[in-house]
Structure 1
Amino acid sequence: MDSFNSKIAKIVGFKGLKGDIKLSLETDFDLICGIKSVKLTAPISALAAESINARVDRLYCEGRLVLLKLKGFADRTACEKLLGYTVYTEKEQLRALDEDEWWIDDLIGLTVYTRHPLKIFGKVSTVYGDSNITLAVCDKAGKEYLVPFVKALVPVVNIAEGRIEIENIPGLLDESADDSEGDSEEDKE
């Protein structure tokens, strides 16, 4: 299995003639500032699905730009073929998360419970956004609901137990879904 499975950026351009690569980040800069190596994957539209492993020479911010310099890519000409590539790294190279931080991939698939009464509602199907996160939650019937990922609405996230709990305020989730025959925590015991 490939250990370079943490998507961190997309290559969107270049700066100057010395091989500095402009990145559009998929995560916060402070999580990736210490990485030493990356895997670059060609866009799906490319004829040959190419990937390149490379060592990081320098990763830095200049104003609002995030720039990457790779060892072995001495000038702009050497880098230009990388336009549109996706940049991955190993999860172990990323900064450890703080207490109330989670990897987006870890949220997908978690069982969603409504609170008061505690009842199984569905699963997290996907996550939208980068700084303002929204969870897409599918109920048992497959209907999707969008839930802003804020502490007031999602007070409990427990990756180890594979669950999150949502405060079902009026209008957030379908009223009929909340009154459905969900499995309550009391029924499971």
Structure 2
Amino acid sequence: METIEVVVARIGKPHGLRGEVTVDVRTDEPERRFVRGAQLRAEAPKGSAFPHRRLTVERARWHQQTLLLTFAELADRTAAETARGVVLHATIGLEDTPDDPDEYYDHQLIGLAAHDLDGTHLGTVEGLLHGGAQDLLVIRALDRRETLVPFVAALVPEVDLAGGRVVIADRPGLVAPLPDED
């Protein structure tokens, strides 16, 4: 089975004295990624002396709007403080799909052909930008320009993974302007 790594969180400040930390969640599936026993690759910030390459989830709980995690390797507040800024990665199979049929992993979308509502080829999905308000599809247009399309149902009404395409609605900027005729 082929696998890839996806970023699922970034560790914030310690919470309490027993090694619990706050995390900035970067996954739509925290209940799936932060189960007891889950092994996550730890990517420390440049210049950090954080000693662990992997962290094992012992406990996950929500406190108001914040996810708190306890890791086997972080026994106390001092150890938790050294983890601040560490980015956590989960390994998933390429054939894995999100629980919600209207959600997609980045790797499922990258490489899909982008077409308009009439079926005209517009370009290729080259990536995604994850923002606070919404995600953006990065489309490489046929003239090689990079264009951003908000990844919302009104503008991307169809994602056809089996057919290898996405449908883009109402994005005239994706079509290269015709050269002026004299």
User: TM-score with structure 2 length normalisation?
Assistant: 0.80
Match of 1:183 in 2: none
> Is contact 1:112-1:124 (8 Å) kept?
yes
Match of 1:184 in 2: none
> Is contact 2:18-2:75 (8 Å) kept?
yes
Distance 2:19 2:70 in 1: 6
Change in 2 beyond 3 A, CA 1:110/1:51: farther
Q: Which runs of 5+ in 2 are unaligned?
A: none
Match of 2:88 in 1: 87
Match of 1:137 in 2: 139
Asked if residue 23 in structure 1 is aligned to residue 23 in structure 2, the reply is: yes
Distance 1:113 1:52 in 2: 42
Report the CA distance between 1:66 and its aligned residue: 1.0
Distance 1:64 1:14 in 2: 16
Distance 2:2 2:41 in 1: 10
Match of 1:54 in 2: 55
Q: Deviations over 1:150-174 (max 9, x none)?
A: 222212212233211112x2xx232
Q: Deviations over 1:12-34 (max 9, x none)?
A: 21111110111001113344343
Change in 2 beyond 3 A, CA 1:95/1:147: closer
Structure number having the greater helix percentage: 1
RMSD (CA atoms): 2.9
Change in 2 beyond 3 A, CA 1:179/1:49: farther
Number of aligned residue pairs: 174
Identity %: 28
> Is contact 2:10-2:24 (8 Å) kept?
yes
Q: Which runs of 5+ in 1 are unaligned?
A: 181-189
Distance 1:142 1:133 in 2: 21
Report the CA distance between 1:40 and its aligned residue: 0.9
